[in-house]
Structure 1
Amino acid sequence: MAEEVLLIGTWGSPFSGRIEVALKLKGVQYKYVEEDMANKSPVLLQYNPVHKKIPVLVHNGKPIAESQVILEYIDETWQDYPILPKDPHERAIARFWAKLIDEKCYPASFRACWGADQKEHEKAVEEVNEQLQFLEDELNEKRFFGGEEIGFVDIVGNVIAFWLGGLEEASGAVVMAREKFPKLCNWANEFVRQSVIKESLPARDKLIAYFRNRFGAGTSK
């Protein structure tokens, strides 16, 4: 019996984009289903009734939700191309940085581009600069956070490597300046140049237009 792997996502989501990257790195064949988040389908509500969000991975009829949870499931299910380190301490460190990216860095980046007012914007810029500096120091001289190969933190960091640039261009804000974060900028360029990443990214002009249409002008023009 053939494996059935279904990914429910949306074109502009970094979170469903992560899952595509992981599946492609692993060489897993899957079917992609585009979800309209403004008119959620019965399939999405069936498979993720708790959060009603994408992405959802359905493996042989069994759903898994939340992108980092899905990434770990993929890594444990398909052995080719390990995403997380084998060493327990290194695995814990990778989870720590991934959590920081999702819970601290990306939300602050978003507020820095579309803060409700100047005060909120300035506070968010200060916060995101602090988080990005932590990541800059962690990256150090490595090619990727995973070393010589793309790993868990790199995949989660797609929100910084690609989506943050779209937010900056759409809003007119400058969040990850090269003079402040040269290593992160080099990492981002290297990351998005990889063929498996390119295949999983939305068109940049389409993404920027989407941000502008949805959120309007930024606070830092």
Structure 2
Amino acid sequence: MEKKEEGVKLLGFWISPFSRRVEMALKLKGVPYQYLEEDLPKKSSLLLELNPVHKKVPVLVHNNKILCESLVILEYIDQTWSNNPILPQDPYQKAMARFWAKFVDEQILPVGFMTLVKAEKSIEVAIEETQELITFLEKEITGKDFFGGKTIGFLDMVAGSMIPFCLARAWECMGIDMISEEKFPGLNRWIKNLNEVEIVRECIPPKEKHIERMNKIIEKTKSA
């Protein structure tokens, strides 16, 4: 009988929060995998072959089955390897985890990065809009160790890969204290809890190298 973990490959990019969250899931499940680093400005022929639609990472290959888009991949991993569940078992809680995950990727990311960098209104307005969105997550995490409850789960991987270890470093580059402990005590406690989880620490990009790269991305975005 073929083992489920056979032939697992992940195409990723070290700075990509979307790649990092998939690695967190694979590590949590204890799934052995081969990691293939991509250089997104110089996309490999393999990436273009495996993901011709979006031409982006991550791409998961499992027993010759190809999956793209990080949220889709996370659900596939959770359903394929049943140990250490990522998504809640309760249908409502599962739906809400999906809802907030899309909220992070589709609202907090563009507003918290593109709007800030472009600052088409004013930097103060952009900060206010970003903090208004983050307040929703503050309410969700209040009274919890993790969004998943007592252990790291789906939304923790999505928000954790994006906010404290990606956007926060971009905000640092811009000199913005976006998620101060005074304003967002719940999220700051959650970030401290995340830092204590080994699989999360293993997937965090090196800070100095990350900030250097974020500075370049910010400058490129401003001039675009």
TM range (shorter): over 0.9
- Cα 1:122/1:89, change in 2 over 3 Å: same
Indicate whether 1:179 and 2:182 are aligned.
Answer: yes
Runs of 4+ in 1 over 4 A off after TM superposition: none
Q: Give 2:56's match in structure 1, choosing from 48, 53, 58.
A: 53
Q: CA deviation at 1:143?
A: 0.2
Measured against aligned partners, the alpha-carbon deviations of 1:60-112 in whole angstroms (never above 9, x if no partner) come to 11110000010000000000100001111110011111111111112211135
Q: How many residues align?
A: 218
Q: Distance in 1 between matches of 2:194 and 2:98?
A: 19
* Candidates 7, 10, 23, aligned match of 2:10: 7
Q: Which deviates further from its counterpart, 192-201 or 3-12?
A: 192-201
How far residue 156 of structure 1 moved from its aligned partner, in angstroms, is 0.3
- The 8 Å contact of residues 18 and 70 in structure 2, kept in 1 or not, is answered as yes
Query: Structure 1 unaligned runs (5+)?
Result: none
Aligned counterparts, 1:1-221, within 5 A: 1=2, 3-111=6-114, 113-117=116-120, 119-158=121-160, 159-216=162-219
Separation in 1, partners of 2:220, 2:189: 28
Q: What value does the CA root-mean-square deviation take over the aligned residues?
A: 1.8
Unmatched segments (≥5 aa) in structure 2: none
Whole-angstrom CA distance in 1 between matches of 2:172 and 2:220: 10
Cα deviation per residue 1:173-212 (whole Å; 9 max; x = unaligned)? 2221221111111111211231111111110110000011
Distance between the aligned counterparts of 1:122 and 1:77, measured in 2? Answer: 45
SS at structure 1 position matched to 2:203: coil
Aligned to 2:177, the other structure's residue is in SS state coil
SS for the counterpart of 2:52 is coil
Pick which of 57-66 and 108-117 moved more: 108-117
Give me the identity figure in percent. 48
TM-score normalized by the length of structure 1: 0.93
Name the CA shift for 1:122/1:111 in 2 (closer, same or farther; >3 Å): farther
